[in-house]
Amino acid sequence: MQKFIVDGGMPLKGELSVQSAKNAALPIIAACILTEDAVTIENCPKLKDIDAMLDIMRHLGCFAEQKGDVLTVCCRDVALNVINSDLTGKLRSSIFILGSILSRCRRAYISHPGGCEIGLRPIDLHIAGLKALNVKIDDDYGVICCDGSDMKSGIINLDFASVGATENLMMAGALLDGETVIVNAAREPEIIDLARFINAMGGRVYGAGESVIRIIGVKKLHGCIYKPMPDRICAGTYLAAVAAAGGSVTVRNVVPEHIFGMTERLKKIGAKLNVRHDSVRITVNERPRPLHKLETNVYPAFPTDMQPQFSAMLTRATGSSIVVENLFENRFGYTAELAKMGALITVKDRVAVIRGVPKLSGAVLRASDLRGGAALVVAAVAAEGRSVIYGTEHIDRGYEYIERAFESIGASVRRVDDSD
Ligand code: EPZ
């Protein structure tokens, strides 16, 4: 087991480049099943969630090898093995592999992924969408058994614009005869990236990024070389850290329009921003101003995956902020850890009231989920004194060597073995 030791309280300075997006790379890897050819994914981050997805791919008989930041996947043959709970338990989003397996093999078996630290995370929208494509689905003692032998393209009306369900259904439709239409599709940038990837393999996906997506099925897809989009959540995490700790940092490899919801709020808390075509320079010289109301919702609204890191920053604000979490029912767990540092946060259901304090103090903390863990690093970097953060494995699910990124902007974040 490892932990981070953070000596905080220093302003941040310098520059860093953001990794490719985990939440783009995961569905892209799943979509490799759609072709028998080899696919090369460049700039693929080294993350625990990516490893978990690659384990699933290998379990299905695919070749998958990551050398440095280049990932090669080849699914010449796909074995219809049950994806058991050992595998789905490590990666909740494994459910969206159903669409690509069904599209290619017309059958699929996967253990129910279950809930996780941030919420119950039902999969009813995925199931309803696949049923609309004429897939027969039985739940056999926790294993979801899908028979797609009579699968047909069709129109799917999502009750809610779920990211994973939209991705699943885009993959499901990619090799079906005719046109599949997803109405009320999610509009997150990662959806556009998946569509680009499918199209780079010879697919025909139109309208990604809008609420109606059309997928014209093709007979066959071919291999390609692809570089996933930059990680907007990692970019936002580093920007939030500068806003919390003060300093001046250039964050490179960003798509400014993807992080507009964050940069607009950063301006409101008093940050000076210099936004270029693929970088943002942030300068913060004073304590952040509070945000009257920060409310998460589907893109282009403020992302739920940034709620913990922004809340951590707001603990140092010059007044009170209200944060409303609309996506997940249990995404304030990290606030109890921030309280150990002197943060004043009251949580009731999906609303947190944060009363800013002049300073946080280092403390012994435990991360219990990915973004909540990132929020602890943000707070520790801004706090005076030393913090110890356990639960690094949660943070490693989505941030490639977060300690190196922070070191490169002048923070002291060291990864050590717990025995040290
Ligand atoms: C994706 O999860 C991301 N994961 C999440 O990032 C992100 O928080 C989320 O989208 C929202 O932006 C990946 O891309 C791998 P949803 P996903 O389906 O697809 C409910 C991170 O930290 N819902 O849009 O699972 C659901 O419970 C992770 O990197 C149903 O009710 O999100 C939630 O309340 C965490 N039924 C809401 O919709 C369903 O069938 C949004 O979920 C599916 C979802």
Q: What is the number of other CB atoms lying within 10 angstroms of the CB of residue 34?
A: 27
- For residue 96, give the ligand 1 atom closest to its CA: 19
* Pair 308, 345: CB distance under 8 Å: no
26 lines ligand 1 (CB under 6 A): yes
Quick check: CB of 391 below 6 Å from ligand 1?
no
Is it the case that residue 345 has pLDDT exceeding 90?
yes
In angstroms, what CA-CA distances link 137 with 54, 76, 108, 132, 173? 25, 26, 10, 11, 17
Task: Please give the pLDDT value at position 116.
Answer: 78
> pLDDT at position 114, please?
72
Q: Are strands 155-157 and 179-183 parallel, antiparallel or unpaired?
A: parallel
* Closest ligand 1 atom to Cα of 190: 14
Ligand 1 touching residue 125 (CB < 6 A)? yes
- The pLDDT of 316-339, averaged and rounded, is 97
- Nearest residue by C-alpha to atom 16 in ligand 1: 162
Catalytic positions, written as ranges? 116
Among 28, 160, 262, 297, name the best residue to mutate to test ligand 1's pocket (greatest count of ligand atoms within 8 A of Cβ).
Answer: 160
* pLDDT tens digits, one per residue of 20-73: 999 999 999 999 999 999 999 999 999 999 999 999 999 999 999 999 999 999
Q: Is the CB of 108 under 6 A from ligand 1?
A: no
pLDDT at 335: 98
Q: Which of 20, 23, 131 is the best mutation target for the ligand 1 pocket, counting ligand atoms within 8 Å of the beta carbon and taking the most?
A: 23
Spacing, Cα 162 to ligand 1 middle (Å): 6
Residue 92 DSSP label: G
Percent of the chain with pLDDT over 90: 95
CB of 162 shorter than 6 A to ligand 1 = yes
Pairing of strands 293-295, 272-275: unpaired
Confidence of residue 118 (pLDDT cuts 50, 70, 90): confident
Share of the chain above pLDDT 70, in %: 100
Closest among 159, 51, 30, 37 to 98, alpha carbons compared? 30
Predicted confidence at residue 303, as pLDDT, reads 98
Residue 119 confidence class, pLDDT cut points 50, 70, 90: confident
Beta strands in 104-243 (DSSP E): 107-111, 136-140, 143-147, 155-157, 179-183, 204-206, 212-216, 225-226
pLDDT digit string (tens) for 163-199?
A: 999 999 999 999 999 999 999 999 999 999 999 999 9
Q: What is the CA radius of gyration of the chain?
A: 21
Among the atoms of ligand 1, which is closest to the Cα of residue 167? 19
Q: What is the pLDDT of residue 374?
A: 98
Contact status, residue 188 vs residue 2, Cβ threshold 8 Å: no
pLDDT band per the 50, 70, 90 thresholds, residue 420:
low
298 Cα: distance to centroid of ligand 1 (angstroms): 10
Is pLDDT at 140 greater than 90 in this prediction?
A: no
Ligand 1: atom nearest CA of 93 is 15
User: CA 32, CA 57: separation in Å to the nearest integer?
Assistant: 9
pLDDT of residue 226: 98
Give the confidence band of 117 by pLDDT, cuts at 50, 70, 90.
confident
Per-residue pLDDT tens over the stretch 201-225: 999 999 999 999 999 999 999 999 9
| Nearest protein CA to atom 19 of ligand 1, as residue | 164
Round to whole Å and give the CA distance between 108 and 92: 17
Report which secondary-structure segment, H or E, holds 385.
strand 385-390
